[in-house]
Amino acid sequence: LYYSVIGPLVNGNALLFYEGGFSTESTVRVIQKYKVTNLAGSPTAFRLLIGNGDEVSKAIKGQLRVVSSAGEPLNPEVINWFKNKLDVVINDHYGQTETGMTVNNHHELEHEIKPGSMGYAMPGYKVVILDENGKVAPPNTPGVIAVDIANSPIMWFKGYLKAETPAIANGFYTTGDTAEQTEDGRITYVGRNDDVITSSGYRIGPFDVESVLLEHPCVLETAVIGKPDPKRTEIVKAFVVLNKGFEASEELKEELSLFVKKGLAAHAYPREIEFIEELPKTPSGKVQRFLLKRRED
């Protein structure tokens, strides 16, 4: 609403909404028919486009000027596919329903777009990373994404009605998301605080495991959670939706586990893999990990 609707209208730009439900065919048809040059969507939708890669590439390569992604972390395989197959840079952004976008890979401001990073604070916001003591963390150290209220003149969110725990304390609004920030202010998403997995003393970001799994040709979609375990506190469990032409098997589970071991780290591989037909999602396409976690409790 804030930046995909009101923002473009304020600047005199035309908007096009399609309400027919997402599919590769409808997306390609609308882009071609209405000569769309600026496309916004979620990583989930973009990954479905990748599933029909050659068809999409032949139809719209070179037509898009810029692509924006928000709502979920943007996996490297999506970034690489858009660059190589559609000849366009995909810009990741971060925000919340409460605040609108606060961190962006800005289209019109000059800065390097680094794959995996969601960019820099929106002008009008001061975004910092807080450590476990509520202090600003050193550069490149994981912590909670927070908005410095006193130095954020366009921050309008004041807190939740009748909340037991205030969202704003000590001058900061804390988002509940974990990220790292470089010395020059670039922010890279790590994961939702509630989703970070603690296994045998290691803290594992599900996004990192998912990003590796998505590089395997058999994986269309995946969601990773921590499953309670008496010995390790939690183990890494992956739910996987297979691409067409692949069949679920114990051998494939072992192959995917080894794939993560080699591509990420030995302690981060999924000890359990479950193949499912589809992931639970919100209407906007966000994966609902809490529903997957509920199955394991």
Which CATH number covers residue 155?
2.30.38.10
Same domain, 80 and 158: no
For the chain, the C-alpha Rg in angstroms (whole number) is: 20
237 found inside a domain: yes
Q: pLDDT tens for residues 56-100?
A: 989 999 999 989 888 777 877 788 889 899 999 888 999 888 888
Name the pLDDT band for 211 (thresholds 50, 70, 90).
Answer: confident
Same domain, 290 and 218: yes
Domain ends where: 160, 193, 226? 193
Domain ends where: 173, 193, 213? 193
Given this model, what pLDDT does residue 42 score?
Answer: 81
What's 209's domain CATH number? 3.30.300.30
pLDDT at 190 over 90: no
This prediction's pTM: 0.72
111 found inside a domain: no
Average pLDDT of the chain is 87
Task: Enter the tokens of residue 164.
Answer: 């037991």
Burial of 153 (0-12, 13-18, 19+ CB in 10 A): exposed
103 found inside a domain: no
Which of the two residues, 37 and 47, has the higher pLDDT score? 37
Given this model, what pLDDT does residue 284 score?
Answer: 65
Please state the rounded mean pLDDT for residues 7-23: 83
Same domain, 53 and 136: no
Q: pLDDT tens for residues 104-161?
A: 998 777 788 887 789 999 999 999 999 989 999 999 998 999 999 999 999 988 888 8
Same domain, 182 and 206: no
Q: How far apart are CA 147 and CA 2, in angstroms?
A: 18
The CA-atom distances, in angstroms, between 269 and each of 118, 119, 174, 272 are: 25, 28, 30, 9
Q: pLDDT tens for residues 247-273?
A: 999 999 999 999 999 998 888 999 999
Q: How far apart are CA 125 and CA 128, in angstroms?
A: 10
Given this model, what pLDDT does residue 51 score?
Answer: 76
Tell how strand 233-242 and strand 272-275 pair up.
parallel
Same domain, 180 and 155: yes
Same domain, 213 and 151: no
Same domain, 77 and 158: no
SS3 content of the chain, % helix, strand, coil (to 5): 30, 30, 45
Instruction: Give bridge partners of residue 234 from the DSSP assignment.
Output: 228
What's 9's domain CATH number? 3.40.50.980
Given this model, what pLDDT does residue 198 score?
Answer: 83
Same domain, 203 and 284: yes
184 found inside a domain: yes
Same domain, 186 and 204: no
117-121, 202-206, 230-234, 244-248: the lowest-pLDDT one: 202-206
Same domain, 200 and 156: no
Which of the two residues, 51 and 250, has the higher pLDDT score? 250
Name the pLDDT band for 232 (thresholds 50, 70, 90).
Answer: confident
The CA-atom distances, in angstroms, between 215 and each of 245, 264, 292 are: 16, 12, 22
Q: Which range marks the domain in which residue 130 is found? A: 120-193
Per-residue DSSP letter, 64: -
Q: Give the orientation angle of helix 53-60 with respect to helix 24-34, to 10 degrees.
A: 0
Same domain, 264 and 290: yes
